[in-house]
Amino acid sequence: MRRSNGRCVITGLKAADAHHVIPQQMCRRRGIPVWDHRNGIALCKRTHDRHHSRLELIPYSVLPSSVLEFAAEHELGWYLERFYPTTDADD
């Protein structure tokens, strides 16, 4: 959460949660370190809950370069493309 100064990458509010961009279960199955800081983003509770309930997905555009590098290193770019939309639903 240091990259965002402890603030949610969506709302700018104080972050309550660190979100694993690539899920922990997927990392474990592939032998990828679960707690690699490059696989995390800071989120407020509301944003985190809305993402996991699929009410409002986190857009690809807010993912830091470290997350993109992590995904590429582990051949998981497809996961980002599938679960982090590249355009807003309102467009």
pLDDT in tens, 36-74: 999 999 999 999 999 999 999 999 999 999 999 999 999
Residues paired with 7 in a beta bridge: 14
pLDDT category of residue 22 using cuts at 50, 70 and 90: very high
Exposed/middle/buried for residue 72 (C-beta within 10 Å: 0-12, 13-18, 19+) = exposed
- Give residue 23's pLDDT: 96
Q: What is the pTM of this model?
A: 0.85
